[in-house]
Amino acid sequence: MADYDAIIIGAGLGGLSSGALLAHQGLKVLVLEQSDRIGGCCSTFERNGYKHDVGASIVEIIQPIEKVFELLGTKFQDEVDLIPCDPLFSVMYRNGERITIEKSLEATGEVISSLSAEDGRHWKDFCDYFQEMMDVLIDALFFVPADTFGDMANMIKKNPKLLKFLPTFLVTYQDLFQKYFKSNKVLDTMAYQSLYMGMPPALTPGPFAMIPFTEHSGIWYPRGGMIKIPEALLRCGQKDGLEIRMKAGVKKVVVKGGRSQGVVLEDGGEITSRIVVSNVNPQRLYLELIGEEHLPWLTKRGVKSLVLGKSLCMIYVGLDSKPDLDAHHSYTAVSMQEVNDFWTNHVETGIMLPAEKNYGLICWTSHSDDSLAPKGHHVINVIPESFYHLKGTNWDAYKDQFVDDYLDYVSRDLVPDLKGQITQVIASSPMDYERNLRLPEGSLYAFNQDATHQAVFRPSAKSKCIDGLYLSGSGTHPGGGVPTTIASGMIAYNKILQNEKV
Ligand SMILES: Cc1cc2nc3c(=O)[nH]c(=O)nc-3n(C[C@H](O)[C@H](O)[C@H](O)COP(=O)(O)OP(=O)(O)OC[C@H]3O[C@@H](n4cnc5c(N)ncnc54)[C@H](O)[C@@H]3O)c2cc1C
């Protein structure tokens, strides 16, 4: 008899949501996490009294998360104290001008009208279109599997309204915005958010143009830091007997007769299980943890052809006083063309932009939750655009200079006197993410999220070549993000209920 019904490799959101759901179903579940902290990219660490989020800094589109907690017999809002963020964000133009976008659609319409009367007139049409799209797409895409074309057909059968929005998969984020808005000043407030999908506006599939709209239905910050979400999933799982071992990296998935049988740990120990759920990047899972010898040629080819996604250098900053910022999130106003050019002229050549031409996001988390820093102090995360492969150098050699140059620029041009307020700076480069969280090339969302890496083209929740093996996390449908990876855990769980004796 196997030691466990299910072993979960990785305590990221996808791993913990599938693990907690399986434990709630009565299975004997063990989660194995290689690091000393749960949550992966959605986590929080403390240094000298300042709490910094490792990656994710807000949660939005919470319907799939609510569903998972409902299946666990509780309520998301009872498990995690969610602080609403309003204003939603502030846009910082390079000439020092700023605009603030509030949750209210009417207030935002007024801001758009003040930038361009013509675009202001189109704001309502834009909202009506994206409201309908959001209602359809969240239900249709985030709760159901997309492993096969049969799954895709079922999606449409269950939700025929999806047909109306299928053509948006053939156009881009940029196309949809340019349909509604003509003023560059307005478009410059909306280009950056395509990067929430890890892609520039010209490559991001059209449906994700709903992000700047969906934020108006609410964005939240969990009191105590983003780690409160994985902690809540773990707590629910543990009530149902889920076990977790930290610093327990998995070296191999044991496959015999085409079926996963358990895992071998990096310390040499072996643990058997009927089911294995992997929360690690699927390319690494198939090529390293399983090994090419167990893969049919088509899987080998398919897995090798997946393109790793965007990576970032994140700068965690402690401040001794309140920064000159206006909202939880502030980002640089940037044109669609600049973001597209960054992709083609810099990501692909490895030549970094000079700091004063770079742009990015500043997350002022202690604006929402003052418990994150000592009294009167603050924490911000500064996130300039960056990428993994640098021409002629690497991140271990380049990180300090990159961080210094960008903080100098921000302090000079965007957030006056920031440098004088700084008490500590820590940075996580793409290479650090790779080492610490085992994200290949620091890839935030596992793979690109363009149309060729979506739904049925992403590795499936139920392995097509190894029985008893399931996948959760950003490398499988519906992709990267806090709600989507939690949804992926629910999709893996449903696949297990359908296919295994539980
Ligand atoms: C900088 C950054 C900013 C982001 N901002 C946002 C945001 O604001 N909002 C949002 O919705 N999303 C955001 N995201 C995305 C979101 O955080 C991720 O998509 C999501 O948390 C990934 O979850 P996951 O389940 O794929 O697991 P991961 O977070 O990748 O965790 C996987 C876990 O598996 C462990 N592991 C790996 N290999 C092994 C092994 N061999 N053995 C044992 N354990 C192993 C890792 O240590 C890790 O803990 C951001 C991500 C980053 C990096």
Query: Is 138 contained in some domain?
Result: yes
- Ligand 1 centroid to 439 CA: how many Å? 8
- Do both 327 and 423 map to the same domain? yes
Domain-located, residue 450? yes
Query: Ligand 1 center to residue 472 CA distance, Å?
Result: 11
What does the block give as tokens for 367?
Answer: 């604006």
Pocket test for ligand 1, best of 279, 365, 426 (most atoms within 8 A of CB): 279
Its domain, for residue 273, covers 4-44+58-82+224-307+446-499
d(CA 118, CA 329): 27
Distance of CA 423 to the CA centre of its chain: 28
Q: What is the pLDDT of residue 404?
A: 97
In a domain, 88, yes or no: no
Residues 317 and 381 reside in one and the same domain: yes
Q: Are residues 495 and 428 in the same domain?
A: no
Q: Are 487 and 373 in a shared domain?
A: no
Q: Does residue 25 lie in a domain region?
A: yes
Determine the pLDDT at residue 384. 97
Cβ neighbours, 10 Å, residue 356: 13
Backbone angles phi, psi at 479, to 5 degrees: 95, -165
d(CA 482, CA 419): 31
Domain membership of residue 276 (yes or no) is: yes
172 secondary structure, DSSP code? B
> Could you count the other beta carbons within 10 Å of the beta carbon of residue 351?
11
Same domain? 433 vs 453: no
For position 211, what pLDDT does the model report?
Answer: 86
What is the three-class DSSP state of 369? coil
**Same domain, yes or no, for 78 and 190?**
no
Question: How many domains is the chain partitioned into structurally?
Answer: 3
Specify the CATH number for the domain of residue 371: 3.30.519
Give per-residue pLDDT as tens, 252-303.
Answer: 999 999 999 999 999 999 999 999 999 999 999 999 999 999 999 999 999 9
Last residue of a domain, one of 196, 217, 238: 217
Residue 121 shares a structural domain with residue 133: yes
Q: In which element (H, E) is residue 132 found?
A: helix 117-142
Interval between CA 433 and ligand 1 midpoint (Å): 10
Kindly report the protein residue whose alpha carbon is nearest to atom 41 of ligand 1: 250
Distance CA 359, CA 337 (A): 13
- Give 243-301 as a DSSP string: EEESS--EEEEEEETTEEEEEEETTS-EEEEEEEEE-S-HHHIIIIIIIGGGS-HHHHH
Nearest CA to ligand 1 atom 6: 56
Query: Do 213 and 151 have their domain in common?
Result: yes
Q: Which of 183, 217, 251 is the last residue of a domain?
A: 217
0.85 exceeded by the pTM? Answer: yes
Q: Are residues 331 and 431 in the same domain?
A: yes
Ligand 1 atom, smallest distance to 428 CA: 1
Question: What phi, psi does 462 have (nearest 5°)?
Answer: -105, 120
Residue numbers in the chain where pLDDT is lower than 50? none
Q: How far is the CA of 248 from the centre of ligand 1 (A)?
A: 17
Residue 52 belongs to some domain of the structure: no
Cα–Cα distance between 40 and 172 in angstroms, integer? 30
At residue 212, the pLDDT reads 84
Phi/psi for 300 (5° steps) reads -55, -45
Same domain? 316 vs 433: yes
- Out of 42, 199, 233, mutate this one to test ligand 1's pocket (max ligand atoms within 8 Å of CB): namely 42
Quote the longest CA-to-CA distance of the chain: 70
> Ligand 1 centre and the CA of 13: distance in Å?
7
Question: Is 320 in the same domain as 347?
Answer: yes
The residue assigned the tokens 């910082």 is 92
431 and 474 co-located in one domain: no
Beta bridge partners of 316: 381, 426
Of 164, 196, 217, the residue at which a domain comes to its end is 217
175 falls within a domain: yes
Q: Render pLDDT for 105-137 as a digit per residue (tens, 0 to 9).
A: 999 999 999 999 999 999 999 999 999 988 888
Closest C-alpha to ligand 1, atom 32: 12
- Considering the domain boundaries, does residue 50 fall inside one? no
Helix, strand, or coil (residue 167):
helix
Residue 450: the pLDDT is: 87
